Amino acid sequence: MSNYHIKHLEEYYQVYRKSVRNPESFWEEIAEEHFLWRKKWDNVLSWDFKKPEVKWFEGAQLNITENCIDRHLATRGDKTAILFEPNDPNEGAEHITYRQLHHRVNKFANVLKEQGVKRGDRVCIYVPMIPELAISLLACARIGAIHNVVFAGFSANALATRINDSDCKMVITSDGSYRGAKTIDLKGIVDEALESCEGVETVLVAKRIHSDINMKEGRDKWLQPLLDAASDQCKAEVMQAEDPLFILYTSGSTGKPKGMVHTTAGYMVYTAYTFKNAFQYRENDVYWCTADIGWITGHSYIVYGPLANGATTVLFEGVPSYPDFGRFWDIVEKHKVSQFYTAPTAIRALAKQGLEFVEKYDLSSLKVLGSVGEPINEEAWHWYNDNVGKGKSPIIDSWWQTETGGIMITPIPYVTPTKPTYATLPFIGVQPCLMDEKGEELKGNQVEGRLCIKFPWPSIARTIWGNHQRYKETYFSTYENKYFTGDGALRDEVGYYRITGRVDDVIIVSGHNLGTAPIEDAINEHPAVSESAIVGFPHDVKGSALYGYITLKDVGESRNHDNLRIEINQLISDRIGPIAKLNKIQFTEGLPKTRSGKIMRRILRKIAEKDTSNLGDISTLLNPECVQDIMDNAL
Ligand code: 7RM
């Protein structure tokens, strides 16, 4: 038991050392003591990063839903598993207990079976943030079907690509979805996508907005009547440890999206163990991650990790700005949220709104604040720390990826002293290293390089669906025998890691390697600045020079832009050095972002390079309209 819940720093170092010296016996002990197995493994780990091939707990048999639901029934049957907070606060929250979740997942699983879904089949889930979304993932897992969740903000084209690539035979969706004051015609998007998806036989439609939609005879079926008629008992399919649990697409910098494949046992063990420790979850806590289940953060830290720990996990349908910018804090107060996990983009958007929205609410239930998705800039870190955490809730800046399945580098709250903008120390069992351009590992502290992982952890993605070669080339070919993350990082004098941004964002100015994060950090400290993004553009003397796109807090900022430019460069000069001063500064109305809130520097780089003939597919952006505006005003 002792290793499962880390409580102080010395213990962290001790358990960490153990996990690195003898990973197999370490993970075996965790797996042995904290999960329900139908059969134990024959072999804890076999791996070869050259092939690449990784297998954890081979020979073991289990079903992840028995771990996330059934085993809690005896002790937590009446505890809230999922706390659904709808888009419209007046609709009222819905508490789904573990017992109710058990019934609903079983019914849904039986419907899937009746509709011809078999073990190993792929099911596409294109559902907004309503309980049916979490339940549909679990229903697939119950019967051994492989879920492929597509974020319900993606276009018909993006949806069709993902359905076809993984050859899904069924799509689960809803009539429509709410997004603040707007509704979205999801079923219409599905209909359009399916015009180019021949393999889809059945579409199950949940009712959410009660809109008048088209139902295609023989293909489309309303979900509710099928659920009503189904039995609430469904035996869990006994799965092999390495059977795929799900596919989740992540966009590559070039080419089509990559269907990352996660398997069952290792993913379960790692997401459960990281959840328990990175959030210090205790039995009566209410935990809330604001991500969408359409991203890996939602898979691992709304659904599987929390439920495997018998936690109460909030599922929020809405947006931070509806009915006003106090919505997050209203929910924290109402449900006495203890752990709150969000993204820097959301923090910056809320910080821009001023303090009155935060100060109105009682946030004293909060114990842990989390950040994920992008480097959190210093200014946003302090805003979060001071105004949300009131200086007493540690911020866990957690670094990880769709490919890693779970959190890899993070402070453990109340254990690891935090440091703004630092993800700090590797999680238990994670062996990061930094590499230089020549492929040599940088030893010791105070070094900066490319972030790799030397040894497999249980939830590493096993392949790219249908393209193992691409998996090998993308992650295991840059450095021999190492998993390459694509991120740059530095290690400070005590061994803390700071992620400096994607390596393709690293800009070499007059021979100096500059990461985007520290420069953006300095810029964002300026009181008039809301957000910024830095890219390089060709320069005859420096090789590359810096181009900054900056969004001001007050769009109609009346101050002289030239003065602002001088002040901003002065700040950069003070914080980093004159080498990092910007050659060009363009003030923008907004920055292009992915649907999960990451700034798309690739597009900004093209504009800075004056190469806008091929911007790639911008239709999946959150705000494609800002691209034209940026192009029109480019310097
Ligand atoms: C969980 C998630 C992965 C990329 C990753 C980084 C960036 C994520 C942090 C971060 C700095 C962080 N999965 N990233 N977390 N950068 N600090 N705490 O976001 O597949 O969608 O993205 O996101 O570049 O490689 S993801």
pLDDT digits (tens, 9 = 90+) for 291-342: 999 999 999 999 999 999 999 999 999 999 999 999 999 999 999 999 999 9
Helix, strand or coil for residue 225? helix
- Whole-number Å distance, alpha carbon 564 to ligand 1 midpoint, is 30
Would you state the pLDDT for residue 255?
63
The ranges assigned to domains in the chain are 9-319+398-436+454-485, 510-632
Would you state the pLDDT for residue 13?
96
Element (H, E) at 578: none
Pocket test for ligand 1, best of 499, 594, 622 (most atoms within 8 A of CB): 499
Ligand 1 neighbourhood includes 423 CB (under 6 angstroms): yes
Dist CA 491 CA 434 (whole Å): 8
At 572, the amino acid letter reads I
Ligand 1 neighbourhood includes 257 CB (under 6 angstroms): no
At 604, the amino acid letter reads L
List the structure tokens of 570. Answer: 């002065």
Dist CA 233 CA 156 (whole Å): 35
Ligand 1 neighbourhood includes 294 CB (under 6 angstroms): no
Dist CA 190 CA 224 (whole Å): 19
List the structure tokens of 274. Answer: 């990281």
* DSSP per position, 579-607: GG--SEEEEES---B-TTS-B-HHHHHHH
Ligand 1 neighbourhood includes 317 CB (under 6 angstroms): no
Shortest-distance atom of ligand 1 to CA 401:
13
Dist CA 177 CA 183 (whole Å): 6
Q: Contact, 207 vs 238, CB < 8 A?
A: no
Ligand 1 neighbourhood includes 373 CB (under 6 angstroms): yes
Would you state the pLDDT for residue 253?
58
Ligand 1 neighbourhood includes 521 CB (under 6 angstroms): no
Ligand 1 neighbourhood includes 397 CB (under 6 angstroms): yes
- Whole-number Å distance, alpha carbon 430 to ligand 1 midpoint, is 16
Peptide linkage before 323 cis (omega within 30 of 0): yes
Predicted model pTM: 0.91
Dist CA 317 CA 85 (whole Å): 6
Q: How many residues does the chain have?
A: 635
Residues of the chain falling short of pLDDT 50: 1
Peptide linkage before 52 cis (omega within 30 of 0): yes
Would you state the pLDDT for residue 167?
98
Helix, strand or coil for residue 85? strand
Q: How many CB atoms lie within 10 A of CB 30?
A: 19
- Whole-number Å distance, alpha carbon 406 to ligand 1 midpoint, is 11
Would you state the pLDDT for residue 1?
42
CATH of domain 9-319+398-436+454-485: 3.40.50.12780
Ligand 1 neighbourhood includes 296 CB (under 6 angstroms): yes
Burial 66-84 (b: 16+ CB within 10 A, else e): bbbbbbbeeebeebbbbbb
User: If you take atom 26 of ligand 1, which residue's CA is the nearest one?
Assistant: 401
CA angle 586, 591, 594 (to 5 degrees): 155
Residue 219: C-alpha distances to residues 191, 225, 229, 520 (Å): 11, 15, 19, 50
Dist CA 627 CA 255 (whole Å): 20
User: If you take atom 11 of ligand 1, which residue's CA is the nearest one?
Assistant: 375
- Whole-number Å distance, alpha carbon 599 to ligand 1 midpoint, is 11
Q: Which residue has the tokens 């790799």?
A: 452
Bridge partners, 463 (sequence order): 261
9-319+398-436+454-485 and 510-632, same CATH topology? no
Closest CA to 193 of 157, 169, 220: 157
List the structure tokens of 156. Answer: 């018909």
Ligand 1 neighbourhood includes 297 CB (under 6 angstroms): yes
Dist CA 188 CA 609 (whole Å): 38
Tens digit of each residue's pLDDT (9 = 90 or more) over 335-387: 999 999 999 989 988 998 989 999 999 999 999 999 999 889 899 999 999 99
The pairing of beta strand 286-289 with beta strand 312-316: parallel
- Whole-number Å distance, alpha carbon 373 to ligand 1 midpoint, is 4
Please say whether the structural domain 510-632 has been given the CATH code 3.10.450.50. no
